[in-house]
Structure 1
Amino acid sequence: MTVTLRDVYRITMANSRLPIISTLHFVQIFMLILGRRIQHPLEDEVKGNYSNSFLSHVPKHLSSKTTVLDLSLNSINELQTEDFKPLPKLRVLKLSHNRIQHLDISVFKFNQNLEYLDLSHNKLWKISCSHENALMNLTYLDLSFNEFEALPICEEFANMSQLDFLGLSATGIQKPDLLPLQHLHLSNILLDLERFCEKKDKLESLPVLSTKALQIIFPTDESCSVQLNMSVNNLRSLELSNINLDDGDKCLIFIYFLSKLINNVKFLNLTLYHLKTTWKCFVETLQFLWHKPVEYLYIYNITLVGEIDEEQFKYYETSLKELKIKLFTIKIYIFSQTDLYSIFSDMNIKMLTISDTRFLHMLCPSQPSPFQYLDFTNNLLTESLFQDCGNLILLETLILQKNKFKYLSKIAHMTEKMKSLKHLDLSENFISHDEKKTNCNWTESLSILNLSSNELSDSVFRCLPPNITLLDLHRNKIRSIPKDISNLETLQELNIAFNSLADLPGCSTFSSLSVLVISHNSVSHPSAHFFNSCKNIKSLQAGDNPFQCNCQLREFSKNMAILSNKVASGWPHSYKCAFPDSYKGTQLKNFHLSPLSCNLVLLIITIVIIGLVVIIVTTFLCIYFDLPWYLRMIFRWTQTRPRTMNIPIDILERKFQFHAFISYSELDSAWVKHELVPNLEAEDIKICLHERNFVPGKSIIENIINCIEKSYKSIFILSPNFIQSEWCHYELYFAHHKLFHEGCDNLILILLEPIPQHSIPNKYHKLKALMAQRTYLEWPMEKRKQVLFWANIRAAFNMKLVLVKEENDN
């Protein structure tokens, strides 16, 4: 389905009950709607955007498929046929804010598809028309804000049957200028008369136009007045800007102008911008419109001059539904407040807005009022407003935003007689509540209350309407929500963002709560039971809080992840860890802790189980693999090896003939000769044995001493047999004597068989002392242990030792 610009524009004008905005705003909205269509173009649509590109002429070599061309905000001063001839499919052309002075319609004779042409804000003073069919398909033509002396309307305009919007500007208007438009049915006409300064004694009757919306911009020069005698058929919206009514004559002329303009109107939306008037003229104009078919009257930026006196006003028989006055500046300093406020307070309309006026007060209506909507935003109103006022029985919505209210209990009393009030907006005031004042008598009908951006603390929850369903408390000073509140069972939506709450509130107090906004607070450890108590929650916005990512947050994060698509608003991008620093900035969805680290009972059970397993495994290793023996042997090796490697050079240079002297009992000789000696000599360790190295003819004692002196180490094979050998005792005595007097670490004790301490005779006290003080090597019977045993023996010897040749003692 193809949507034309005409269709888009008609849709925007369809609802005449909406307020008509200023000329520029209207054009902007229309362009926005057009822009949306351009953003979703047909498949063959090609756009060329050269806006604000410092162009002085239309660019060449544009694509012949171009349908939308934006040349606004440049310095183009001339248009030629050759500029647009290569663009047969062009539909939208924007040339606003350039320097074009002359327009010849024939330059577009090759652009039969052109629907939208904007030439506003140029320097046009002349327009030339042709008899060709150029611009016949236009739906939007804007020639406003130019320098035309007469209205730039050609006879050919009468053939533009598709035209919806027409913007014009001129310094004067004559009847023939408007004749081509008389038979066109437009949706909007914009008349830019800012440079209009024509003075005539007799007003010329202008042709009757047909349009749904008419916008007229009068001169800003107060010395120039515009007098028009014109009528419009089908008019639904009228917007007038720059109206100067600072004396009685101008007031009468304006009222006459309005009477002619809206004579045939059935329903009208009227908007007045930049109105300067006296109080008397304002009341007279308002009185005139009160009895006309005006449904919505909007006045923006009104300046009141002169004097304010009591004026009579008749309120009966009005079609007006809403009056909106915004930015009301009073340049009068001494006047009766009653004369001013009484005009507004007794109006018999449904909706009244008086905002940005600096009003200090508003009177209670003198009789039951039909007001259903009152908006007094950005004034200076206080608690004296509507106190003991019983005539606002139909009021449903009261907007008191940006005023000077301070005491919540007095505000509650103000609403007590408003039996129909449903919505109250008190945001951006200075409201606080004294907890000692528990007297908060709200009207029972109030269900929506906005108390945001005030100075309320926790006590506000003790002064709330009994049937409240929607409560906005964001940007206050609330630190906690009392748990003993009993009158908020109907609350469904609560906005408490930008406060100082440390936890999510449970729903024991808010049994009907379905929407909670608690972002930007101080919630670091949200309660995990929140989701259990708040079964009816449908939307939760708790992001942008300083979450502390620990075990307490784990369950909350898990619940949020489960409900992310249904409940969690802003999940996961606004839910981030603030503490500890190692997790700072991490999204909660990416924060994970193991169940073991967060469950103390499970952690204790796990530690106990692991401890038992370690004990069992250790016991098994000790029993099956004799682990203590291995540990002793490894410890012995680690002690012996460094000592051996770090022997002083003077010891190594002594004249040793043997690496080791072996002392043993004859009963253990088999193990020495078949195990010990072969393994040591296989490592090039030279052994001194008494049966082969004792010198014949010398005494045994002398041979023992001589062998110990010539040997680097003395190895003693300890066993019960060793204890029974007297000679072994002598050998041990002399070796021990060498250890004591020379400080040499020359003893190696090998325990061949276990020797109970009690079996060692007392006379062998040196043996007892050595076994108690020194580490000895145990000979293992298992083959797998013997490798470590031989490694410990080898570690005791320094193989750098140079032996001298054995001397002949004979």
Structure 2
Amino acid sequence: MTAEDKKPIVRNFPVGVTTLLVTISQFSAESVFSVDCSGKRLTRLPEDLSPQTKVLNVSHNNISDLQFSAISFLSELEILILSHNGIQQLDLSVFRFNQDLEYLDLSHNQLWKISCHPVVSLKHLDLSYNDFGAPPICKEFGSLRQLTLSATKLGQLDLLPIADVHLSSLLVYVEGYYAKRNETESLQILNTKKLHFIFHPDSLFSIRMNISVNTLEVLELTNIKLNDENCHVLMNFLSELTRGPHLLNLTLNHLETTWKCLVILFQFLWPKPVEYLNIYSLIIIKTIKEEYFKYSKTTLKALTIEHFRYREFLFSQNALYFVFSEMNIMMLTITDTTFIHMLCPQKPSTFKFLNFTQNVFTDSIFENCSTLSRLETLILQKNGLKDLFKIGLMTQHMLSLEVLDVSHNTLELNRHEGNCAWAESIVVLDLSSNMLTDSVFRCLPPKVTVLDLHNNRIKSIPKDVTSLEALEELNVAFNSFTDLPGCGTLGSLSVLLIAHNAISQPSEKFFSTCQRMRSMKAGNNPFQCSCELRDFIKNISHVPSDVVEDWPEAYNCAYPESYKDTALKDFHVSELACNTTLLIGTVGIIMLVLTATVTFMCICLDLPWYLRMVCQWTQTRYRARNIPLEELQRNVQFHAFISYSEHDSAWVKNELLPNLEREGIRICLHERNFVAGKSIVENIINCTEQSYKSIFVLSPNFVQSEWCHYELYFAHHKLFHEGADNLILILLESIPQNTIPSKYHKLKALMAKRTYLEWPKEKSKHGLFWANIRAAFNTKLALQIPDETQGH
């Protein structure tokens, strides 16, 4: 079996089967395994079917024979459709192993012979449109609920084998004339609840047969053509069928007759026990003239006529409308016609239900009509109604009217003066699919509890409306609302349908004002996901799931583009981003803490000094990156740069400088080599970059000098000698660690990690000190440095 064959159940039955009282859902749920092989030009049943197959459709193929071996292994088969094939003979014993088979459709074949055999579970059998001379009846059909037959001849004894069978429905296709014109046959169908005859669509009704059915409840006749001459034939046919007390429902499909014959039919049925008369697709031929009709006592409760057409255009309108308007029944339905009016009954009417859907009635319908005081339901859908004010006036004498449906018209409210007049009894009002605007809320029945206004042009409910205290259910879907209406003036509102509007930022106060809300449907609106929506989402998330319909599937962001199609339940934004007061307070606190921190660092940690150092160092590093190392080395002019405190200048000039220069070491001093016009920091950087070494004379005086620390900082970060041993530390006087300021952490680190030369107090040790100094310069003395640099 291919993947194409393994489809979900699709109830695609032949046309004739649609008239059967078969509820397919009783056989199985959506999980039933089914196979659809219809229209595949098969000549026999597929061989690769699964034994678990429950539904098999092999209609519209070329199967001419059904073999036992092809069907017996389908032990779980429930539905078999074999219509529109070429089967001529069938032995029902081929189904003896199909113990679950309930529905068998053999219509539209070429069957002329059936061999009987009990099929245990069979409930529905369709043998219509075959080549039987007389209807094939087996006593084994005793378990059937529905039997569908077709016959060119139906005799008195043909149905005798199933006379005692309690059928729920018997459908008989009568294909042609089978009784002599002046003879009447008798046919007993004792125990069926529903009997349906389908006659040939192109022949005049000419059936002469007395049919006796004891338990008949529903009678349906299809394809009836009558004229004034053969009208009595139908009455004779119905005489016996309508005699018993059980027939409650009579349906005539595709009835073509004259107006006179139709009135005769009504007069015939009026005293009968039939309670419901349905006529679907009625065509009146010839002209319509006034006919006498006696409205005697009747058990008829409801007359329904759908799709009423007449071929004559010029006729007496009153003759047509009068027959219907004066009927003494409770329910009248005339839909899908070209009626342009309906007369007001001349005397108090018994009508409780009137349905005139899809006609061409105008606003003058039932104008000043005071005889419909018992009317409870009035349906005027799909007509030519335009003025809502006139519709209200129409109802004011209908003292019992509770339900009014005027949907699918072109109603507008153009009057602003005075109040609309309505029947005070109206509680259900359908004004959907019209052209109404906000003003409609000022023209409504005072006691309306269910109001349908969907698919109009409404933008909001006016705040000054105070006449809707009784309203419980409101449908304003498919309008132009921009916000959810509060329940301030709608104190009883419990059901609200407001989907498909223009709501972008619904008010978060809706749920607080609508305490009685038990059902709300507000999905499919263009929600703008912003801070204003947070509270609404929070509130709607706390409402029970059975109150908010379609949540969260139908509630998505439409704006902004970054959140488009995001579910509202997944939209999150922080409280800080939405609360201006909180944001200002938070920023203020941060600024206050930052100011306090900066102040502390400036006072206690000398932050400005570090900032200046970082700035200068950044400039130096940038310059070093953009100047090649070779060029930087060519600019070296000194062997050493000496950094010292002015308080130690005497020792530097009298001891250190003479001893170094005697050895040919070029020395850079700030007082003789700093360039005038440049900043001190810039001169310090230049001197350290132009010197191989940097000598630092450390003492308590050095620690107190800020400029000395600058020199130490830049010398330590000498970029083109990074990693080289370019620092010489001379400890002139002992410096206790606790006296070094915290900002001189670099000095502390150097003294902890690097070896420094300590100036000895004893003169005998001075020679070793100078030897160590010379050793530090030993590898560099041979370098050629221009003499002109020494003169600065």
TM-score range, shorter chain: 0.7 to 0.9
**Gapped regions of structure 2 (runs ≥ 5):** 1-14, 688-699, 723-779
Cα offset, 1:796, TM superposition:
6.5
- Aligned-pair distance for 1:652? 6.5
Paired residue for 2:152, among 171, 179, 200?
171
**Secondary structure at 1:161 match in 2:** helix
Counterpart selection for 1:135 from 119, 127, 137: 119
> Residue 387 of structure 1 corresponds to which residue in structure 2?
367
Q: Per chain length, whose mean CA-contact separation is higher, i.e. which structure has more relative contact order (CA < 8 Å, sep 6+)?
A: 1
How far the C-alpha of 1:431 sits from its partner, in A, is 0.2
1:80 maps to what in 2?
A: 67
Measure how far apart 1:472 and its partner are: 0.5
2:10 corresponds to 1:26:
no
In the alignment, the residues of structure 2 paired with residue 736 and residue 48 of structure 1 have an alpha-carbon distance, to the nearest angstrom, of: 102
Which range moved further: 789-798 or 643-652? 643-652
Q: Which amino acid aligns with 2:448?
A: I
Q: Does 1:210 align with 2:188?
A: no
Q: Quick one: structure 1 residues 715 and 499, their matched pair in 2 at CA, closer, same or farther if it must change by over 3 Å?
A: farther
Amino acid at match of 1:440: C
Post-superposition Cα deviations, 1:459-478, rounded to whole Å, max 9, x if no partner, equal 10110111110111010001
Choose which of 574, 586, 607 in structure 1 pairs with 2:554: 574
- State the Cα distance separating 1:56 from its structure 2 match: 1.7
AA matched with 2:609: W
User: Aligned partners of 1:604 and 1:190: how far apart in 2?
Assistant: 82
Contact persistence 2:83–2:108 (CA under 8 A) = yes
Q: Residues 637 and 402 (structure 1 numbering): CA distance in 2 closer, same or farther, change over 3 Å? A: same
What residue number does 2:87 align with?
100
1:177 partner SS:
coil
Matched, 1:693 2:661: yes
- Shift of the alpha carbon at 1:624? 2.8
Q: What does 1:759-770 align with in structure 2 at a 5 Å threshold? A: none
Shift of 1:486: 1.0
Cα drift, residue 142 of structure 1: 1.3
Q: Aligned match of 1:591 in 558, 568, 571?
A: 571
Offset at residue 67 of structure 1 (A): 5.8
Distance 2:362 2:654 in 1: 116
Label 1:784 to 1:369 Cα distance change in 2 as closer, same or farther (>3 A).
farther
Partner in structure 2 of residue 368 of structure 1: 348
Q: 1:197–1:219: 8 Å Cα contact kept in structure 2?
A: no
Q: In the alignment, does 2:192 pair up with 1:192?
A: no
Residue 301 of structure 2: aligned partner? 321
Please give the residue correspondences for 1:717-756 in structure 2 after superposition, counting only pairs within 5 Å: 728=671, 731=672, 736=675, 747-748=683-684
2: CA distance, partners of 1:317 / 1:411: 33
1:652/1:159 CA distance change after superposition, 3 Å: closer
| Identity level (%) | 47
Tell whether the 8 Å contact from 1:409 to 1:437 is kept in structure 2 after alignment: no
Q: CA deviation at 1:638?
A: 1.9
Equivalence for 2:740: none
| Corresponding position: 1:498 with 2:420 | no
* TM-score, structure 1 as length reference: 0.80
2:42/2:61 contact within 8 Å kept: yes
CA shift, 1:644, in A, is 5.4
Q: Does 1:279 align with 2:259?
A: yes
User: Aligned equivalents of 1:69 and 1:780: distance in 2?
Assistant: 106
CA separation of 1:674/1:84 partners in 2, compared to 1, >3 Å: closer, same or farther?
Answer: farther
Match of 1:302 among 275, 282, 292: 282
**1:293 matches 2:276:** no
How many Å apart are 1:666 and its aligned residue? 7.2
3-state DSSP of counterpart to 2:275: strand
| Distance in 2 between residues matched to 1:121 and 1:780, nearest whole Å | 119
User: Are the structure 2 counterparts of residues 785 and 605 from structure 1 closer, same or farther at C-alpha, using a change threshold of 3 Å?
Assistant: farther
Tell me by how many angstroms 1:673 deviates: 8.8
1:402 to 373, 382, 401: 382
Cα distance in structure 2, aligned partners of 1:422 and 1:374: 12
Residue 207 (structure 1) shift:
3.2
How far apart, CA to CA, are the structure 2 residues paired with 1:51 and 1:779? 109
SS at match of 2:384: coil
Deviates more, 1:99-108 or 1:550-559: 99-108
**Cα distance in 2 between the residues matched to 1:296 and 1:610:** 82
Q: CA deviation at 1:162?
A: 1.5
User: CA-to-partner distance for each residue in 1:84-120, whole Å, 9 max, x for gaps?
Assistant: 3445665543322322122233433555664432212
Alpha-carbon spacing, 1:658–1:447, altered in 2? closer, same or farther (3 Å): same
On the 8 A contact 1:543/1:575 being kept in 2, the answer is: yes
**Contact 1:655 1:804 (8 Å CA) reproduced:** no
Paired amino acid for 1:526: P
SS at match of 2:383: coil
Shift of 1:654: 7.4
For the structure 1 residues 220 and 529, does the alpha-carbon distance in structure 2 shift closer, same or farther, using more than 3 Å as the test? Answer: same
User: Is the contact between residue 196 and residue 219 of structure 2 (CA under 8 Å) also seen in structure 1?
Assistant: yes
Pairing partner for 1:781 from 694, 699, 703: 703
1:358 to 338, 363, 366: 338
Q: Which residue of 2 aligns with 1:632?
A: 612
Question: In the alignment, is the contact (CA less than 8 A) between 2:80 and 2:103 conserved in 1?
Answer: yes
**Structure 2 vs 1, CA of residues 545 and 308 (structure 1 numbering), >3 Å: closer, same or farther?**
same
Deviation readout 1:268-315 (Å, 9 max, x if unpaired): 200000000000000001110111111000000001111111111111
* Larger mean Cα displacement after TM superposition, 800-809 or 602-611: 800-809
- Taking the aligned partners of 1:169 and 1:671, their CA distance within structure 2 comes to 137
Return the alpha-carbon distance in structure 2 between the equivalents of residues 797 and 254 of structure 1: 119
Give 3-state SS (helix, strand or coil) of 1:281's partner: helix
Greater Cα offset, 81-90 or 324-333: 81-90
Deviations 1:218-252 (A, max 9, x none): 1012357433332222110000000001x222211
Is the contact made by 1:23 and 1:190 (CA closer than 8 Å) also made in structure 2?
no
Which of 182, 203, 227 lines up with 1:222 in the alignment?
203
The question of 1:473 aligning with 2:475 is answered no
Q: Tell me which of 144, 151, 163 is aligned to 1:182.
A: 163
The equivalent of 1:158 in structure 2 is 139
The answer to whether the 8 A contact 1:452-1:475 is kept is: yes
Tell me the secondary structure at the aligned position of residue 248 of structure 1. Answer: coil
Q: Is the 8 A contact 2:183 2:208 kept in 1?
A: no
The structural deviation recorded for 1:523 is 0.7
Q: 1:505 to 1:673 in 2, by over 3 A?
A: farther
The 2-side partners of 1:188 and 1:346 are apart by 35
Q: What are the superposed Cα offsets for residues 565-599 of structure 1, whole Å, 9 maximum, x if unpaired?
A: 14211100101111111111111111111111111
Distance change >3 Å, CA 340–CA 614, structure 1 → 2: same
Tell me which residue corresponds to 1:417.
397
Q: Does 1:119 align with 2:90?
A: no
Partner of 2:496: 516
Given residue 116 of structure 1, which amino acid in structure 2 is its aligned partner? Y
- CA-to-partner distance for each residue in 1:528-579, whole Å, 9 max, x for gaps? 1111111111111111111111111100001111114142111001011111
Cα contact 2:643–2:708 (8 A) shared by 1:
no
- Alignment correspondent of 2:712: 790
> CA–CA distance in 1 between the matches of 2:436 and 2:515?
29
Distance 1:567 1:152, change over 3 A: same
Spell out the pairing of 1:483-562 with structure 2 (5 A cutoff). 483-562=463-542
1:262 deviates by 2.2
Indicate the SS of the match to 1:201: coil
String of CA shifts for 1:585-617, please: whole Å, max 9, x gaps: 111111111111111111111111111111122
CA distance in structure 1 between the aligned counterparts of 2:158 and 2:600, rounded to whole angstroms:
115
Question: Number of aligned pairs?
Answer: 706
Q: Output the aligned Cα RMSD.
A: 3.6
Q: Which residue of 2 aligns with 1:668?
A: 648
Q: Which residue of 1 aligns with 2:431?
A: 451
Change in 2 beyond 3 A, CA 1:666/1:25: closer
Structure 1 residue 202 displacement after superposition = 1.4
Give the whole-Å Cα distance in 2 for the aligned partners of 1:89 and 1:665: 110
1:463 to 443, 461, 465: 443
Partner-residue secondary structure (3-state), 2:372:
coil
Q: Distance in 2 between matches of 1:287 and 1:669?
A: 141
Q: Give the partner amino acid of 2:254.
A: H
